[in-house]
Amino acid sequence: MNYTEVMVRYGELSTKGKNKRIFIRILATNVKKALHAFPEVKVHGERDRMHLLLNGADSAGVLNALKPIFGIQNFSPAIRVEKDLDTIYQTAVEMVKEHYQPGMSFKVNARRADHDFELDTNELNREVGYHVIQAIPEIDVKMKNPDITMRVEIRMDGAYLSCETIKGAGGLPVGSSGRGMLMLSGGIDSPVAGYLAMKRGVEIEAVHFHSPPYTSQQALDKAKDLTVKLVPYVGSIQFIEVPFTEIQEEIKKSVDEGYLMTITRRFMLRITDEIMKQRKGLAIFNGESLGQVASQTLHSMIAINDVTTTPIIRPVVAMDKNEIIEVAEKIDTFDLAIQPFEDCCTIFAPPKPKTKPRLDRAIAMEERMDVEGLVARAVAGIKITEIQSGQRYLAGDQDEFDDLL
């Protein structure tokens, strides 16, 4: 069908009060960013729903781009026709025919914003339904849970018909809950945490710690590719690469083996906190799941959190591994996350890390190091890259390698 418009219905934001207009404006901005490849599409955010005028754009491409956008409950491709009854009947029949398969049922759901239109809602339901049955005599009529719902909306500027409703991503528009730093390790959990944070309306910036030559370029590229997987939910993400080699070497020299992980995580949190302050963030998000590894016990979290008063939000803290993997597979980060490249949390990992580290001992060990200087130099050396949809990092390296063979 040559659709002329997409009707977008709001999700959770439809319950908002006086701030609803702000939420709608943010959602409209996110939709425009997601549709940057379709400049001809015009976006109109109204109080009850959003209208996307296609102006000849490829409707299939536009519909696919809308699916990951948080804040959308569902959406329907529609055709605008003149408010002429014969044209409305003919278009309705063609739309139902396109979706009909033997055994299917249907109903007509009409709305009328133009109260001067010649038929009222009940008459529209009856007449459109009559013409569909005349064209498809074997089709069943079913008022509850029909296979096809033929929606007819009479507005002031024309009649709009649709019979397909596509489920949206739900949640809140990204950016409506402020900005947060996501500690992105390159494993399974942190991309899932980022996805869940964005679903609650948080604009994330990914902070990744890199320790060459102990961690490879592939490990860095893998983290960037994981960020690419999260981009469709927001349009683009700032990737912040933190040089961490000096700090890890200093920790290795100065800290008792059982506290290597505790002190490493304390430094990571200090640095992320400082970056967050500089970039006007409001919270730090990470992929910690309670009890999963030594640094994710309650005792460890207390010892690590001691370095900041910033809210540390752990979206996957109560999920077990299978639940996290299920989400990772849904957002297509799992296969990439399990590729075996080392990261900063695995190099220098002690064989027996403390699961109940003492805060006073952690502080005493850090007194052997120039903590402020190490943190300042790491923050001064950050490198920021804007990650956009469709970019390839790890795969690009592989292509170049294959060309040499």
Domain containing residue 153: CATH number: 3.30.2130.30
Q: What is the pLDDT of residue 14?
A: 64
127 shares its domain with 190:
no
Q: Which of 117, 133, 167 is the last residue of a domain?
A: 167
Q: Which residues in the chain show pLDDT less than 50?
A: 398, 400-405
Cβ atoms of 205 and 240 closer than 8 Å: yes
CATH of the domain at 382: 3.40.50.620
Longest CA–CA span in the chain (Å) reads: 86
310 shares its domain with 353:
yes
Q: Which of 167, 194, 216 is the last residue of a domain?
A: 167
Has residue 226 been placed in a domain?
yes
Q: What is the pLDDT of residue 145?
A: 92
Has residue 398 been placed in a domain?
no
Report which secondary-structure segment, H or E, holds 141: strand 140-141
252 shares its domain with 376:
yes
Q: What is the pLDDT of residue 87?
A: 96
What's the CA gap between 405 and 398, in Å, rounded?
11
Cβ atoms of 400 and 285 closer than 8 Å: no
Is 99 flagged in the annotation as binding? no
Give, in degrees to the nearest 5, the angle at Cα 393 between 391 and 395: 100
Tens digit of each residue's pLDDT (9 = 90 or more) over 311-343: 999 999 999 999 999 999 999 999 999 988 777
Q: What is the pLDDT of residue 400?
A: 47
Is 265 flagged in the annotation as binding? yes
Encoded amino acid at 293, one letter:
V
Angle separating helix axes 260-278 and 245-254, nearest 10 degrees: 150
C-alpha dihedral over 382, 387, 392, 396, to 10 degrees? Answer: -30
222 shares its domain with 154:
no
244 shares its domain with 121:
no
Rounded to 5 degrees, what are φ and ψ at 383? -125, 125
pTM for the model stands at 0.84
Is 51 flagged in the annotation as binding? no
Is 184 flagged in the annotation as binding? yes
338 shares its domain with 208:
yes
Cβ atoms of 188 and 328 closer than 8 Å: yes
Domain that holds residue 56: 5-167
For the chain, the distance separating the N- and C-terminal CA atoms, rounded to the nearest angstrom, is 47
Has residue 218 been placed in a domain?
yes
Q: What is the pLDDT of residue 47?
A: 79
CB-based burial, 316-352: b 16+ in 10 Å, e otherwise: bbebeeeebbebbeebebbebbeeebebbbebbebee
231 shares its domain with 149:
no
Do the strands 72-81 and 5-10 form a parallel or antiparallel pair, or are they unpaired? antiparallel
Residues 6 or more apart whose CB falls under 8 angstroms from that of 276 comprise 180, 181, 282, 283, 284, 310
Q: What is the pLDDT of residue 281?
A: 96
Q: What is the pLDDT of residue 308?
A: 95
Per-residue DSSP letter, 143: S
242 shares its domain with 133:
no
Has residue 257 been placed in a domain?
yes
Q: What distance lies between CA 283 and its chain's CA centroid?
A: 17
Q: Which of 134, 167, 200 is the last residue of a domain?
A: 167
256 shares its domain with 381:
yes
- Cis, peptide link before residue 213, omega less than 30° from 0: yes
Has residue 174 been placed in a domain?
no
Has residue 55 been placed in a domain?
yes
Helix or strand or coil: residue 261? Answer: helix
Region for 55 from its dihedrals, namely left if φ exceeds 0, alpha if ψ lies in -120 to 50, beta otherwise = left
Q: What is the pLDDT of residue 235?
A: 79
Q: What is the pLDDT of residue 36?
A: 85
136 shares its domain with 251:
no
Tens digit of each residue's pLDDT (9 = 90 or more) over 162-220: 999 999 999 999 999 999 999 999 899 999 999 999 999 999 999 999 999 988 999 99
Has residue 400 been placed in a domain?
no
238 shares its domain with 344:
yes
77 shares its domain with 183:
no
What's the CA gap between 378 and 382, in Å, rounded?
7
Cβ atoms of 289 and 319 closer than 8 Å: yes
Number of domains in the chain: 2
Q: What is the pLDDT of residue 46?
A: 83
Is 183 flagged in the annotation as binding? yes
What's the CA gap between 340 and 312, in Å, rounded?
28
* Token reading at 6: 């997409």
Do the strands 42-45 and 49-53 form a parallel or antiparallel pair, or are they unpaired? antiparallel
Region for 158 from its dihedrals, namely left if φ exceeds 0, alpha if ψ lies in -120 to 50, beta otherwise = left
Cβ atoms of 109 and 160 closer than 8 Å: no
